[in-house]
Amino acid sequence: MPGMPWSLPWPFDTTYMQLALIAGLAVGASAPLIGTFLVQKRLSLLGDGIGHVAVAGVGAGLLFGTSPVWTALVVAVVAALALEWLRSHGRTSGDLALAADVAFVGEGTDPHRKACLMIRQGLEADSA
């Protein structure tokens, strides 16, 4: 950055690379703290799942001719709310709720169907 008391080696001699270095250091310092919390709360797969849902939102935005960023944001928020509702209304962890959501929504392969049936039976047994 302009005004730094020392010069950085290439490729960090440009302002945008210095900003990228600062952003990378900030993410590198904060991600393990957040990750530890998510693993302890059994929510570790939610970030991955919501990321996949956001990519589907980008596709939907391109398909319908709307802004892909805003469509991905709306779809990701709706999916997060649906997962939280599923997690809070059953006796499941967030990871299990994500597996149920994926099984119901779209990844209709055989292992996902089997997981969906197992989860459904577990939810019915817990509510009875």
- Per-10-residue mean pLDDT of the chain, 128 residues long, equals 66 85 93 83 76 84 89 90 79 65 53 56 55
pLDDT at residue number 14: 84
**Do residues 70 and 106 both lie within one domain?**
yes
**Do residues 76 and 34 both lie within one domain?**
no
pLDDT at residue number 103: 56
pLDDT at residue number 73: 93
**Do residues 52 and 34 both lie within one domain?**
no
0.75 exceeded by the pTM?
no
**Do residues 89 and 122 both lie within one domain?**
yes
The boundaries of the domain holding residue 16 are 1-40
Q: Which of 10, 25, 40 marks a domain boundary?
A: 40
Structural domains in the chain (count)? 2
Please give the structure tokens belonging to residue 121. 């039976």
pLDDT at residue number 108: 46
